[in-house]
Amino acid sequence: MQKKTIRFGEAAVQFYFDGNLRQLKTLADQKRAVVLTDENVFAAHGSKLKGWNTIVLKAGEAFKIQATVDSVITQLIDMGIGRDGMLIGIGGGVITDLTGYIAAIYLRGVAAAFVPTTLLAMVDAAIGGKNGIDVGPYKNMVGTITQPAFILYDHTLLKTLPESEWRSGFAEVIKHAAIKDAPMFRDLESKDPAYFMKKPSALAALVQRNALLKAKVVAADVFESGLRRTLNFGHTLGHALENQYELTHGEAIALGMCYAADLSSELTGFAHTERLENLLQQYGLPTQAQFDNKKVMQVMRGDKKKAGDGVRFILLEKIGKAIVQQVPFEQIEATL
């Protein structure tokens, strides 16, 4: 287990890389902690959770809603969890978002910790303190920005990950490369998913590189007034698509990135849309889709990143360099 400490404003987060789920009991007190996980994770890894108070939730984004929060809070009260308690989310982004949110509001805040079990959660969702729940078609409409005490990485948990989940994780990895890390972009171009799935050391290095890239971007701008916004590359259209169509998060943001690249070529002269599309395809992600523009525009007008009569859009200037630019809804619609 390799420990790195990253400070986010007043909060310090411990990153335990190359760890193992069984080491969790050396990091948290079983008497005061409650594990939140979902049925899929519990089916695959429940045997490693003996001795922990556990709340097992239904799996899936459809349950990232207030009704789930209400149910967990009732259970925490019944279990007598006090302010010295800790909620440990073991799962993908839905579980880490729910766990972080509930920990932020229960008793006005108890400690949280995460053990991400998907590539997406390892490189993105578990990092940065953003948590929350969906409201109707709007993703993460309610939540807070509150850092966990620690994040424990166990790559062996990925062995049971379905292929669609690998694709979603690679979508965020490609996003990181596109906005901030041109050498990683080129490295990804020279490889493919099978390479990383077969070679644990390469996967571990990729996860750590991405986790630290995201952590450093967030640490420089915890409350998202500047740099952190670039992490939303592909997410403005992506989120508008995700809840309306049967798309995974990775598929939705892959489409969002292609659209943002098109918009970038109009607005910044970005010249590598094709390279981005090719890389996404190489990692099993879609680059084209048919959707109802009117519906999508309607959801986008409700987006959190809305400002006046437009949206703060993340555009690329080149591979590895993103900028934030206010784009009017009219122009967004025209490019769609």
Distance (Å, whole) CA 262 – CA 258: 6
Distance (Å, whole) CA 333 – CA 336: 5
> What is the closest distance, in whole angstroms, from the C-beta atom of residue 96 to its own copies in the complex?
15
> What is the closest distance, in whole angstroms, from the C-beta atom of residue 104 to its own copies in the complex?
7
Compare residues 49 and 133 and give the one whose CB is closer to its own copies. 133
Report the greatest alpha carbon distance in the chain: 58
Distance (Å, whole) CA 99 – CA 148: 10
The question of whether 50 is a catalytic residue gets the answer no
Q: Which of 214, 229, 242, 251 is catalytic?
A: 214
Contact indicator for 312, 305 with CB cutoff of 8 Å: yes
And the tokens for 179? 């906005």
Compare residues 103 and 206 and give the one whose CB is closer to its own copies. 103
The question of whether 53 is a catalytic residue gets the answer no
The question of whether 239 is a catalytic residue gets the answer yes
Burial of 200 (0-12, 13-18, 19+ CB in 10 A): middle
Q: Which of 45, 64, 130, 176 is catalytic?
A: 130
> What is the closest distance, in whole angstroms, from the C-beta atom of residue 224 to its own copies in the complex?
9
Compare residues 14 and 144 and give the one whose CB is closer to its own copies. 144
Distance (Å, whole) CA 18 – CA 204: 7
> Interface with its own copies by CB under 8 A: which residues?
9-10, 66, 70, 73-74, 77, 80, 82-84, 104-109, 130, 132, 135-136, 138, 140-145, 223, 301-302, 304-307
The question of whether 295 is a catalytic residue gets the answer no
> What is the closest distance, in whole angstroms, from the C-beta atom of residue 99 to its own copies in the complex?
15
> What is the closest distance, in whole angstroms, from the C-beta atom of residue 15 to its own copies in the complex?
22
Compare residues 104 and 125 and give the one whose CB is closer to its own copies. 104
Distance (Å, whole) CA 19 – CA 16: 6
The question of whether 301 is a catalytic residue gets the answer no
Contact indicator for 16, 2 with CB cutoff of 8 Å: yes
Distance (Å, whole) CA 221 – CA 236: 19
The question of whether 58 is a catalytic residue gets the answer no
Q: Determine the 3-state secondary structure of 49 from DSSP.
A: helix
> What is the closest distance, in whole angstroms, from the C-beta atom of residue 299 to its own copies in the complex?
11
Compare residues 209 and 235 and give the one whose CB is closer to its own copies. 235
Q: Which of 53, 249, 277, 305 is catalytic?
A: 249
What's phi and psi for 218, nearest 5 deg?
-65, -45
148: left (phi over 0), alpha (psi -120 to 50) or beta: beta
And the tokens for 115? 């053990």
Compare residues 41 and 112 and give the one whose CB is closer to its own copies. 112
Distance (Å, whole) CA 165 – CA 276: 20
**Closest-CA residue to 97 (of 123, 133, 69):** 133
The question of whether 294 is a catalytic residue gets the answer no
The question of whether 176 is a catalytic residue gets the answer no
The rounded Cα 134 to chain-centroid distance in angstroms is 14
Catalytic residues, which ones? 108, 130, 172, 214, 224, 228, 232, 235, 239, 249
